[in-house]
Amino acid sequence: MAPERKGWLLYSPGLDRRDEDEDLSPYAFRLWFPGAIEKQFQKFYRYGAVRVIRPVLAGFLLGFMAFGISDFWGMPNSREQFWWIRYGVICPLYALALYLSFQPKWYRRLPEIVALVFLIGGLGVVSIGWIAQSDESSYKSYAQGLVFIILGVQLCRVTFWKATVVGWAVTLAYLLTTTMWQLPTYGIPTKGEIAGSLFFLSFINIAGMVMGYSSELSSRIDFIHRRALVYERRKSERLLKNVLPQEIAYQLKRNPEAIAQEYDDVSILFADIVGFTQLSERLSPSELVGMLDEVFSQFDRLVEEQGLEKIKTIGDCYMVAGGVPKPKVDHAIEMVRLGVRMLRCVERFSQEYDYDLNLRIGIHSGSVVAGVIGRRKYLYDLWGDTVNTASRMESHGTPGRIQITCVTHELVRSAYDCESMG
């Protein structure tokens, strides 16, 4: 199975499992998520913003370069001074930000870099008020260039609050320039013109804030939907892995056809609880199921520790295989070791809860056919004489003992002392 796309970063190892199915919708409208989820969103948002940032930066870089040509006619007296700001500071900064947008190691800081570049670009436009002369044709209209800065930083999907700060900072800089320098020095623009420009820029800021808020809100809702989708998919995968071996589950997802494989060297174990029928007569249904669940859950833990594969349970019978679907050299030895641990487990359980329980265990080694058939209620199962023989070893065995065949004995006699049954 292909790994989860790292680009989306919808999950991280440190995320609390209890938060996976939490309803995050109310937080989206507040533009923040609790704890580690907000960090995840910021990563998700930055990776998605890169594709928007690049064309916007490229457009502004070309725009600043092109407007330098218009300075030739609009600012004939002070164009050379402003060209130093435009081509010596602003354009190189936009070019640098554009370059960094192609460097993955800078993705984490890219929104802050973009916000800073737009702030400097806005202050550069404001600086016209300090440099330009009142008789130049572009003198009164330069404030209109701030519109592009205010909307551009919101368009770049910089987080809402950062973009908002940049927009109002540029507007404040314009206010200070007009009231502290232009009006006292040249008497123009007039107070009415300043008020009109401020009203216009304030309106643009509000429009930009609405645009930025809507953009980030849309991204947060998209993040919630993607996260919920991944969570549901992982939950279904966990359920599938509880029914099927992991390798078979992956294979079935890729190709939902009947799966059948032959294995020449495996071991099969059957374990049956002795006295279960008598016990079921004096226990309530809930107590009986609870007892079976606890015993079989302990068996599941032992099977996982031994690197074996639980196949199924049939009533009070428990079936395990070694060497499928992954080949295992010491499958017989591990299977006998599992049987010993299962006997000890049932013995401890009986003493702790005062139940008269015991196990019959049978093991045989040989070849089997393993696979998944059907389209509903998937079950990974084994077929062949090896399975039948292992079942007979269990049903004809002795309670509290492990009965194995001659084939299995040959595989384990170097590790275990065995007694012949004749």
SS (H, E, C) 252-293: HHHCCCCEEEEEEEEEEEEEEEECHHHHHHHCCHHHHHHHHH
Residue 17 scores a pLDDT above 50 = no
- Give CA angle at 359 (353, 363), nearest 5°: 150
Asked if the bond preceding 3 is cis, omega within 30° of 0, the reply is: no
Percentage of the chain modeled with pLDDT above 90: 28
Q: Tokens for 199, please give them.
A: 């009203």
How far from 114 is each of 89, 111, 214, 237, 367, CA to CA, in Å? 14, 5, 19, 40, 65
272 among known catalytic residues: yes
Chain centroid to CA 419: how far?
54
Q: Give the integer Cα–Cα distance in Å for 135 and 119.
A: 27
Residue 294 scores a pLDDT above 70 = yes
Q: Supply the pLDDT for residue 1.
A: 36
Q: Supply the pLDDT for residue 372.
A: 81
Q: Supply the pLDDT for residue 136.
A: 66
Q: Pick from 328, 324, 272: which is nearest to 299 by CA? A: 272
Residue 111 scores a pLDDT above 90 = no
Residue 159 scores a pLDDT above 70 = yes
Residue 35 scores a pLDDT above 50 = yes
Band the pLDDT of 374: cuts 50, 70, 90: low
**Residue of 37, 150, 272, 311 marked catalytic:** 272
What value does the mean pLDDT of the chain take? Answer: 83
Q: Supply the pLDDT for residue 28.
A: 84
Torsion of CA 62, 66, 71, 72, to 10 degrees: 140
Residue 7 scores a pLDDT above 50 = no
Q: Pick from 124, 129, 122, 131: which is nearest to 182 by CA? A: 129
pLDDT tens digits, one per residue of 186-240: 666 677 777 888 888 899 999 989 988 998 898 889 888 888 888 887 877 777 6
Alpha-helix residue ranges (DSSP H) falling in 75-186:
79-85, 91-100, 110-126, 128-131, 145-155, 160-177, 183-186
Give mean pLDDT, residues 410-420.
Answer: 89
Q: Supply the pLDDT for residue 279.
A: 78
Q: Which residue has the higher pLDDT, 370 or 95?
A: 95
Band the pLDDT of 15: cuts 50, 70, 90: very low
Lowest mean pLDDT among 91-100, 252-261, 274-283: 252-261
Percentage of the chain modeled with pLDDT above 70: 85
Q: Give the integer Cα–Cα distance in Å for 175 and 195.
A: 9
Q: Which residue has the higher pLDDT, 156 or 376?
A: 156
Q: Which residue has the higher pLDDT, 361 or 243?
A: 361
Neighbours of 316 (CB within 10 A): 21
Residue 227: HSE in the Cβ half-sphere, 13 Å Cα cutoff: 25
**Residue of 128, 248, 273, 333 marked catalytic:** 273
Q: Which residue has the higher pLDDT, 142 or 167?
A: 167
Give mean pLDDT, residues 290-317.
Answer: 90
Q: Give the integer Cα–Cα distance in Å for 410 and 97.
A: 71
Band the pLDDT of 8: cuts 50, 70, 90: very low
Q: Supply the pLDDT for residue 255.
A: 67
For 188, the 3-state DSSP assignment is coil
Could you tell me the domains of the chain?
Answer: 17-234 (no CATH), 246-412 (3.30.70.1230)
Q: How many Å is the Cα radius of gyration of the chain?
A: 37
23 among known catalytic residues: no
Q: Supply the pLDDT for residue 9.
A: 44
Give mean pLDDT, residues 330-356.
Answer: 89
Q: Supply the pLDDT for residue 408.
A: 94
Give mean pLDDT, residues 21-42.
Answer: 82
Q: Supply the pLDDT for residue 292.
A: 87
Residue 18 scores a pLDDT above 50 = no
Q: Supply the pLDDT for residue 186.
A: 60
User: Strand 380-383 relative to strand 309-314: parallel, antiparallel, unpaired?
Assistant: unpaired
